[in-house]
Amino acid sequence: MFSFTKEQKTLEISGVKIGGQPGMYPTVLFGGLFFKGEPDFENAKKHIQNMLSLSKKTGNPGIPDFFIRREEHLESIIDFIEENLPTGYPFSIDIIEPSLKIIALETLHKRKLLHRTIYNSIHIGVTDEEREALQKHTPEMAILVAFNPKDKSSDGKIEVLSNGANLLDKGLIDISKEVGVKKTLVDTAALAPGENSGASIAAIPVVKEEYGLPTGCAIHNVVEKSTWLNEFKTARKTVDVSSNINIPLYGGDFAIYGPIENTDLVFPVIAWQDILVSEYTENYFGVSPVDYHPRRKFF
């Protein structure tokens, strides 16, 4: 329900638009795959088809987020991407191990996929080798995760973005410029309950006003780690799916909603929230939504 004084950037990757003033573009939704065990390509294909069809229906862009745990999965996952996503469609790769990140960048470069790649992510643990690799094999877009282990408040997140918070030589924003990534999204780092999880939402308007960059987070992580929900087994999925509404409500542009299995619920929930926000922003701020926004489709 906010409008920002600072000019807001709208970034585009392979036709998917993300960013801008709240109410303009529908929230972009990242659904994750291959979190555990061996990649199940059969099911993955079905889920991605499902996500694409829901995305067409509601208007919210859906981007598959491929979690790559081991080197031996890398080639097969990239094969899968080439064969099963629509031509030119964007995707994100989510890797923890720094050396694997480098190999992935090299491979994506070789296979000419970098122009569709969203790199998840550049964060406080970025190594010098990784920075070199990013410079040589630059992805089209990268997600900067504003995690500050010393200060989990919104202030800490701004610190790590602007100046590295005494943990890195530069802020994450400068690092992304240094390695040549032209399009960056900011993830406000939602981690776990008890770790100032509210700050990941409250930081969204702060980051957008400070930098004008598309901002969002993976609030699903906090739900995932809320072990007390085990006492409410039937409610867990509802809490997980609906936790994402906090993001568009606070002016955010994208949500990393966790398992792609939740797609059937997440898309309508977020479309509904986007409509709510758009009704307000158009009415008060005069910000009207694009033609594929859920508000144009449902009323």
Partner 1 sequence: MDIMNDNNVEYYPWGGEFTVCSPTSCVAVVLLNIDYTPSCDKVAIYGHLKTENIGVEKIVANVISNPYIRFLIICGDEIRGHKSGGSLVALNKNGIDKNNRIRDAPGAIPYIENLNREAIERFRSQIETIDLIGIKNVDKINKTIDECIEKKPSSFGKPYIAVRITPEAVASFKDKRALHSKIIIDYMGKVKKRKG
Q: Where do contacts with partner 1 occur on this chain (CB under 8 A)?
A: 1-6, 154-155, 158, 202-203, 205-206, 208-210, 251, 280, 284-285
Cα gap 159→263, rounded to integer Å = 34
Which CB, 5 or 87, lies closer to partner 1? 5
Q: What is the dihedral of CA 173, 177, 180, 185, to 10 degrees?
A: 30
The residue behind tokens 């829901």 is 54
Residue 21's φ and ψ, nearest 5 degrees, are -70, 145
Which CB, 4 or 41, lies closer to partner 1? 4
Instruction: Supply the minimum distance, in Å, between the C-beta of residue 269 and partner 1.
Output: 22
Which CB, 95 or 206, lies closer to partner 1? 206
Instruction: Supply the minimum distance, in Å, between the C-beta of residue 214 and partner 1.
Output: 15
Instruction: Supply the minimum distance, in Å, between the C-beta of residue 189 and partner 1.
Output: 15
Instruction: Supply the minimum distance, in Å, between the C-beta of residue 60 and partner 1.
Output: 22
Which CB, 2 or 91, lies closer to partner 1? 2
The residue behind tokens 């061996």 is 38
Cα gap 218→190, rounded to integer Å = 6
SS3 283: helix
Instruction: Supply the minimum distance, in Å, between the C-beta of residue 281 and partner 1.
Output: 8
Cα gap 3→12, rounded to integer Å = 21
Cα gap 238→264, rounded to integer Å = 12
Which CB, 64 or 216, lies closer to partner 1? 216
